């Protein structure tokens, strides 16, 4: 505003000039001051608004013209429900063993049901497995939520929808399915309706399965599992047995590649399973394994230098101790060398050897091999071994040939693996060990002991009681075992547990195969025998022949000089009469 | 008369307002698409899970064994059928250690002793009933 003086005051103003009567009266004093102030404020406010709009405008142009050029403000995650509520279970090659699928579950809001009687009748017609009276009771209750049926099939869902009844609704729920059915039922286990694990891996690794998003990989190989189950099944059927179990283990890592217990059940319908079928013989069963235990007696005697492969014991006469008499099933009635004791499965020889080694040493070695305490394992159906409370000399002798002490087949397989693999005990596991990583283990026997034991195991199959396990070209070594089952605190002569534990190839063992048949009955094919050598050994042989090409072990020439040298044992040629396999 | 600045601001307001709603609708559309895609992903994943389970169900070793017995004229490889490359003798005249020429490979194996059966009419692997799942 110019501060020009008013024209009236101008001394040089023209005479005719009169101030404009309507013109703004020039303000003076405080009024003018306040006008100036508000003017300034208005300007500042306008400037601020201009800046604000400019910012918004620029941003608008930026978003509109250069959209998508910059990263989103917050990374949007895919909705949480896409992650399955329970991880899948797969085998070591990624074959699916257990998965969770969404299925509709039917529930009712009885408050919205108009005619409960009619609704119950019509529902019963499409879902005949639901009881009509019970349905009516549920539909006429005064609750606002009640389950009618969980996990409907798509067809049932469509039929219920077609009824068009108000008050009925579906809720999608995860249902555990086991596409391989019975195949690995005892390993994988099963869950209840709310997907809580009730057996096997499902129970043992419940928390792990709930928390991980990646599938859980087991050490099981579905192909080997099938072969093992098939052969065990065949042996049970052939010899009219009540059951059986089998195990395939990688002796150098302790991974269980296959584990079966028969009879088994379908984990998709655990409701129809009986206690008989859900019982896992391989881990929860405690058995006196019989002559198979001689492996540990001889390994102990050799490892502790109690005797050598050239040593021997007198097996001429049965041993009488208290009310027991220890006698041989294939009595040679003479002095037997250590390889002969093992090959002909002499109880007398093994008993004397155990006594020679002493109770303390026996307990020490069995403890080292993990046979005196319950093992740590991924599944919870585990048996603790049954060992005598007071370990008398008679116990030492009977345990020397596998009686008077019970262990689970799982423990037996783990311990035999240690004897065969060079003397390192690897804890058994059902989870695949990372490749290229050394398996945990601790040394329990000298490497030389293991080399000698391999020769003896091979000898049993080549010349002794395990001849029927000889799969040509695969250098099977092993030991038979026939135990009389304890029934009513007495040994039942006709209720046997016939086993064979084999390792192959014997010069450098890689796999262990154990098959036990429960209460087999000899038939024409086995010449009436129901012993391990006649019942279980042929099953192990077929298993090894079928699995060898899958695990990539080529057959070798058993008579080649280097193999002969590796497995040579000094032993007199077998006597003329035929051996009955034990 | 409208002052030029007023006109300018008025048109700016119109443009900005239009642009704002344009952006808003676009965002809504994208949100819808995102939700739709998420739903599709969920459905696809569920479908994959179902198909995986079905595949695993259909490849049960027992079932494959039965199908192979019924439709294929094959038996498992026996021990006698396995050997190593080194065990194959070289032809006469070929230098030991020399790389075998294609012509020096042994004669093709004799034809399969058992004639393959003619495929039966209507023989298909369609014995799977989904309702048994």
Residue B42, pLDDT above cutoff 90: no
State how far the Cα of A373 lies from the Cα of A416, in Å rounded to an integer.
Answer: 16
The minimal CB distance from A79 to the residues B38, B49, B76 is found for B38
CATH number, domain of A349, equals: 3.40.710.10
Kindly state whether residues A159 and A252 are assigned to the same domain.
no
Kindly state whether residues A369 and A483 are assigned to the same domain.
yes
Report yes or no for ipTM above 0.85.
Answer: no
Kindly state whether residues A241 and A339 are assigned to the same domain.
yes
Kindly state whether residues A279 and A414 are assigned to the same domain.
yes
Structure tokens given for A143: 């609750």
pLDDT tier, B22 (very low <50, low <70, confident <90, very high otherwise): very high
State how far the Cα of A562 lies from the Cα of A556, in Å rounded to an integer.
Answer: 11
- Domain boundary among the residues A217, A246, A263 is at A217
Kindly state whether residues A537 and A438 are assigned to the same domain.
yes
Structure tokens given for B101: 């020429």
Structure tokens given for A186: 């005892």
Model pLDDT, residue A407 = 92
Residue B108: φ, ψ to 5°? -60, 145
Is residue A284 situated within a structural domain?
Answer: yes
Is residue A29 situated within a structural domain?
Answer: no
| Total tally of structural domains belonging to chain A | 2
The minimal CB distance from A64 to the residues B23, B45, B53 is found for B23
Structure tokens given for A263: 């009879």
Output the CA torsion sign for A356, A361, A367, A373: positive
Is residue A49 situated within a structural domain?
Answer: no
Active site residue A450: no
Model pLDDT, residue B132 = 44
Mean pLDDT, residues A176-184? 91
Using the beta-carbon criterion (under 8 Å), do B79 and A60 form an inter-chain contact?
A: no
State how far the Cα of A424 lies from the Cα of A427, in Å rounded to an integer.
Answer: 10
Comparison of pLDDT for B1 and B56, the residue scoring more: B56
For residue A181, what are the domain limits?
82-217
The minimal CB distance from A549 to the residues B12, B52, B82 is found for B82
Burial pattern A352-364, b for ≥16 Cβ within 10 A else e, equals bbbbbbebebbbe
Mean pLDDT, residues A17-26? 64
Model pLDDT, residue B100 = 43
Is residue A15 situated within a structural domain?
Answer: no
A385 DSSP 8-state letter: P
Helix, coil or strand: residue A539: helix
CATH number, domain of A145, equals: 3.90.1310.10
Kindly state whether residues A434 and A393 are assigned to the same domain.
yes
Mean pLDDT, residues A334-352? 88
Judging contacts by C-beta atoms under 8 Å, the chain B residues touching residue A47 are: none
Judging contacts by C-beta atoms under 8 Å, the chain A residues touching residue B60 are: 179-181, 183
Residue B95, pLDDT above cutoff 80: no
Kindly state whether residues A194 and A259 are assigned to the same domain.
no
CB A348 within 8 A of CB A326: yes
State how far the Cα of A352 lies from the Cα of A316, in Å rounded to an integer.
Answer: 12
State how far the Cα of A403 lies from the Cα of A370, in Å rounded to an integer.
Answer: 17
State how far the Cα of A535 lies from the Cα of A500, in Å rounded to an integer.
Answer: 8
Q: Bin A240: left if φ > 0, else alpha if -120 < ψ < 50, else beta.
A: left
Residue B104, pLDDT above cutoff 60: no
- Domain boundary among the residues A185, A217, A249 is at A217
**Which of A218, A267, A552, A555 to mutate: most B Cβ within 10 Å?**
A555
Is residue A462 situated within a structural domain?
Answer: yes
Model pLDDT, residue B83 = 76
Mean pLDDT, residues A250-262? 93
Closest to A502 (Cα-Cα) out of A231, A221, A302: A231
Closest to A349 (Cα-Cα) out of A456, A476, A507: A456
Is residue A59 situated within a structural domain?
Answer: no
Judging contacts by C-beta atoms under 8 Å, the chain A residues touching residue B22 are: 64
A·B CB contacts under 8 A = 76
pLDDT tier, A537 (very low <50, low <70, confident <90, very high otherwise): very high
Kindly state whether residues A204 and A255 are assigned to the same domain.
no
In this structure, the number of other CB atoms found within 10 A of the CB of residue A182 comes to 19
Q: A25-50: per-residue pLDDT in tens?
A: 666 778 888 888 999 999 999 999 99
Structure tokens given for A107: 């529930």
Catalytic one of A99, A219, A291, A499: A291
Is residue A498 situated within a structural domain?
Answer: yes
Kindly state whether residues A143 and A251 are assigned to the same domain.
no
Q: Is A473 at the interface with chain B, CB within 8 A?
A: yes
Structure tokens given for B57: 């169900």
Helix, coil or strand: residue A265: coil
Which long-range contacts (C-beta less than 8 Å, at least 24 apart) are formed by A548-553? A548/A471, A548/A474, A548/A504, A549/B77, A549/B82, A550/A221, A550/A223, A550/A224, A550/A227, A551/A224, A551/A510, A551/A511, A553/A474, A553/A504, A553/A505, A553/A510, A553/A511
Model pLDDT, residue B117 = 45
Using the beta-carbon criterion (under 8 Å), do A226 and B56 form an inter-chain contact?
A: no
Is residue A169 situated within a structural domain?
Answer: yes
Question: What are A168's strand-pairing partners?
Answer: A108
In this structure, the number of other CB atoms found within 10 A of the CB of residue B125 comes to 10
Using the beta-carbon criterion (under 8 Å), do A99 and B84 form an inter-chain contact?
A: no
Structure tokens given for A62: 């930026």
Mean pLDDT, residues A134-139? 86
Kindly state whether residues A159 and A251 are assigned to the same domain.
no
State how far the Cα of A191 lies from the Cα of A99, in Å rounded to an integer.
Answer: 11
State how far the Cα of A34 lies from the Cα of A428, in Å rounded to an integer.
Answer: 95
Q: Is B68 at the interface with chain A, CB within 8 A?
A: no
Q: A483-523: per-residue pLDDT in tens?
A: 887 765 566 567 888 999 999 898 899 999 999 999 888 88
Kindly state whether residues A249 and A289 are assigned to the same domain.
yes
- Domain boundary among the residues A176, A199, A217 is at A217
Kindly state whether residues A267 and A368 are assigned to the same domain.
yes
Q: Which pairing describes strands A319-321 and A312-314: parallel, antiparallel, or unpaired?
A: unpaired
């Amino acid at each position: 505003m110019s501060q020009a003086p008013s024209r009236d005051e101008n001394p040089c103003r023209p005479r005719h000039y009169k101030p404009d009567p309507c013109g703004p009266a020039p303000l003076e004093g405080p009024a003018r001051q306040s006008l100036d102030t508000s003017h300034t404020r208005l300007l500042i406010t306008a400037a601020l608004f201009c800046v604000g709009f400019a910012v918004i405008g620029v941003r608008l142009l930026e978003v509109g013209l250069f959209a998508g050029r910059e990263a989103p403000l917050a990374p949007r995650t895919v909705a949480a429900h896409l992650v399955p509520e329970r991880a899948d279970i797969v085998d070591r090659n990624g074959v699916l063993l257990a998965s969770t699928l969404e299925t509709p579950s039917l529930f009712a809001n009885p408050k919205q049901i108009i005619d409960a009687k009619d609704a119950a009748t019509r529902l019963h017609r499409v879902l005949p497995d639901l009881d009509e009276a019970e349905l009516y009771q549920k539909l006429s209750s005064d609750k606002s939520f009640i389950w009618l049926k969980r996990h409907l099939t798509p067809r049932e869902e469509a039929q219920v929808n077609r009824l068009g009844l108000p008050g009925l609704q579906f809720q999608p729920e995860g249902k555990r399915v086991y596409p391989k059915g019975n195949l690995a039922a005892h390993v994988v286990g099963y869950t209840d309706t709310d997907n809580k694990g009730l057996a096997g891996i499902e129970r043992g690794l419940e928390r792990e399965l709930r928390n991980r998003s990646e599938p859980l990989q087991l050490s099981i190989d579905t192909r080997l599992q099938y072969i093992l189950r098939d052969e065990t099944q065949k042996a049970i059927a052939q010899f009219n047995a009540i059951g059986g179990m089998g195990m395939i283990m990688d002796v150098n890592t302790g991974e269980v590649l296959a584990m079966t217990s028969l009879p088994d059940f379908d984990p998709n319908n655990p409701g129809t399973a009986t206690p008989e079928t859900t019982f896992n013989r391989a881990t929860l069963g405690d058995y006196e394994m019989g002559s198979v235990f001689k492996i540990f007696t001889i390994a102990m005697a050799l490892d502790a230098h109690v005797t050598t492969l050239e040593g021997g014991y007198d097996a001429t006469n049965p041993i009488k101790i208290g009310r027991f008499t220890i006698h041989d099933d294939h009595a040679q009635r003479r002095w037997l060398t250590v390889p002969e004791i093992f090959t002909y499965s002499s109880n007398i020889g093994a008993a004397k050897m155990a006594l020679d080694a002493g109770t303390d040493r026996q307990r020490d070695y069995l403890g080292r091999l993990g046979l005196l305490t319950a093992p740590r394992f991924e599944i919870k159906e585990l048996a603790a071994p049954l060992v005598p409370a007071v370990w008398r000399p008679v116990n030492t002798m009977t345990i020397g040939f596998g009686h008077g002490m019970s262990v689970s087949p799982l423990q037996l397989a783990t311990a035999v693996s240690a004897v065969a693999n060079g003397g390192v005990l690897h804890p058994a596991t059902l989870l695949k060990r990372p490749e290229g990583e050394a398996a945990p283990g601790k040394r329990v026997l000298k490497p030389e002991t293991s080399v000698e034991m391999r020769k003896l195991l091979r000898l049993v199959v080549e010349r002794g009681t395990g001849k029927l396990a000889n799969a040509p070209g695969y250098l099977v070594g092993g030991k038979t075992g026939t135990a009389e089952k304890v029934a009513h605190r007495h040994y039942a002569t006709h209720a046997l547990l016939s086993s064979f534990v084999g390792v192959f190839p014997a010069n450098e063992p890689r796999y262990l195969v154990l098959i036990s048949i429960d209460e087999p009955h000899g038939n024409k094919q086995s010449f009436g025998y129901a012993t391990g050598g006649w019942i279980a050994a042929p099953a192990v042989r077929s298993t090894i022949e079928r699995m060898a090409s899958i695990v990539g072990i080529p057959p070798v020439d058993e008579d080649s000089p280097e193999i002969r040298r590796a497995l040579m044992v000094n032993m007199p040629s077998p006597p003329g009469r035929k051996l009955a396999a034990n | 008369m409208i002052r030029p600045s007023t006109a300018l601001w008025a048109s700016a307001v119109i443009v900005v307002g239009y642009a704002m709603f344009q952006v808003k609708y676009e965002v809504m559309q994208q949100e819808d698409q995102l939700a739709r895609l998420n739903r599709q992903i969920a459905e696809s994943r569920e479908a994959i899970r179902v198909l995986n389970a079905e595949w695993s169900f259909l490849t049960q070793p027992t079932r494959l064994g039965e199908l192979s017995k019924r439709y294929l004229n094959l038996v498992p490889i026996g021990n006698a059928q396995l050997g190593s490359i080194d065990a194959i003798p070289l032809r006469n005249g070929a230098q030991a250690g020399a790389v075998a020429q294609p012509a020096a490979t042994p004669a093709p194996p004799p034809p399969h002793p058992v004639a393959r059966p003619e495929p039966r009419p209507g023989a298909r692997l369609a014995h799977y009933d989904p309702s048994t799942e």
